[in-house]
Structure 1
Amino acid sequence: MTDQPVWRPTASREHLKSRAQQLAYVRGFFAERGVLEVETPVLGRHGVTDVNLEGVAASVDAGGVSGGWLQTSPEYHMKRLLAAGSGSIFQVARVFRNGELGRRHNPEFSMLEWYQVGLNDMALMAEVSDLVCGWLDCERPDILNYRDAVRVIAGFDPMTISRHDLYQVCEQWLEPEQLAGMSRDDCLDLVMSFRVEPELGQKRPVFITRYPESQAALARVTSEDGYSVAHRFELYINGLELCNGYWELTDPAEQRKRFVEDNRRRQAAGKPKMAVDQAFLAALDAGLPECSGVALGLDRLLMLKTGAARIEEVLAFPIERA
């Protein structure tokens, strides 16, 4: 007897209904603020250089265009719209990240991404609070900088700790030979994942801000207490990371340097180099307006709303049943 495929969805009708209500709420939220809804390609010609993200390569052959990537985020295309004069925009997107599967991860998921022209990161954090707390009917978040969060929860200063001492901290999770090839940021990410994040937002939501410069990604950088820090924030509720936001970098020369550094780090980690999206850089050359942007995981937001313990409870068909 052959195994029969499991065809039923993993999400209940109640959770499917809650998803529909969430989408209506999101669109109503931005309609009230006059933010334009846009659509950009799910299948793009380029992936991303970020060493922490792995895209899904696509096989396509159309009109002389071959290859491509399912997008990890609509960011580059949305910034091209911003540079073309779109004004403030939002998008509900399906995005893809290879190798991500677990209680809170599925390789395909729903992302809400938006950009507000003329706002800095602090102003955008207030708008994120409006959206999230309005939907969850919860308290507004506290704000805690990255350095203080690590000092209070993990017991060391992430800006001053030596690599040797940082490795010793991480030996509770990995063997010394596993740590040997890891960078300082890799080790700090390990501490965040295993020690700090589970404690965040347990009493009330909390924004973590002012990440180290080396973790700026596409955010601008400033100096604070003698250290370079990124205008980047993440929101946590009950130990769950909901979003990642930036006061966006608009300097094309600096962005080019960061792409080069990303690929250097990818090679050091044994990962393939990624081609740089030249159309995105051309948009920066033309002029990206002063803006802040944020990407928010809608499936995780729905998990909090419904009390779901696993992401498949709010997905109709996770990858195992797709």
Structure 2
Amino acid sequence: MEQRNESYFTGFILLGFSDRLQLELVLFVVLLIFYIFTLLGNTTIIALSYLDPRLHTPMYFFLSNLSFLDMCYTTSIVPQFLFNLSGSDKSISFGGCIVQMHISLALGGVECVLLAVMAYDRYAAVCKPLHYTVIMHPRLCGQLASVAWLSGFGNSLIMAPQTLMLPRCGHQRVDHFLCEMPALIGMACVDTMTLEALAFALAVFIILVPLILILVSYGYIARAVLRIKSAAGRKKAFNTCSSHLIVVSLFYVVSLFYGTAIYMYLQPPSPASKDRGKMVSLFYGIITPMLNPLIYTLRNKDVKGAFKRLIARIFLIKK
């Protein structure tokens, strides 16, 4: 392994999975494939939402926001991780660590709030169909998206500087594959109880409150759908929110995204959970952004139709 004079090195060493060389090789190949599919899938959704006039609706406006932040979130993690996996150099500069932590922490928070905003959009579409266009007007959509982005970056601006300024008494080895807040807090050589309490309070606001709003929204949606007498009407109402429902159903919200985020940020730090924490970070930071485009386009006739029209238009131009 490459030797580095740590006395003059001001960055960090990301240990990642360096004690498992065979796992690193497998991870490199798998993550590269996942990253390519993440970029392709999310770029496709953004392009279709922009190019097809039929997708100029609040739902696809928010979906484009989600796809954009998923690409940014994954890009803040994967390239550095792939570089570290490809050789013996596991280092990251202090500036690189600052950028990575700010972006990943901010965009993780944005996604939590944005999923709640999208649940409200589906609530308005199903429960207030006659007033939907009045309720979800472009100005409100822009304001709700702004709230999501400002919430995530506000959380990052509060937590990231305090975490990075913690005294570490010369410790530079991060037992993780990215500069993530819990791992950096765990390196501190001072009492971090106050900072952890602040992180817990902000996590309740960023993670649990949006989760509750999502569950309440879908509670109202379920009640509205069950009140529809005709089977055709219930099917139409369900199709209105089926794409988003697949993503924010109880299983996805609790088990995939919110479950892993709560596991990371709302539990007391424990040495025994370090490896599990790395796998959890891999899941919600890399796998989830790749799955989102697949889930949102699953059984989605609008997106499939827009894709077919785009392909047809491209072939007509070539001819």
Please indicate, yes or no, whether the TM-score normalized by the shorter chain is above 0.5: no
| Greater helix fraction, Structure 1 or Structure 2 | 2
TM-score, structure 1 as length reference:
0.30
From the CA coordinates, give the structure whose radius of gyration is larger.
Answer: 2
| Greater strand fraction, Structure 1 or Structure 2 | 1
TM-score, structure 2 as length reference:
0.30
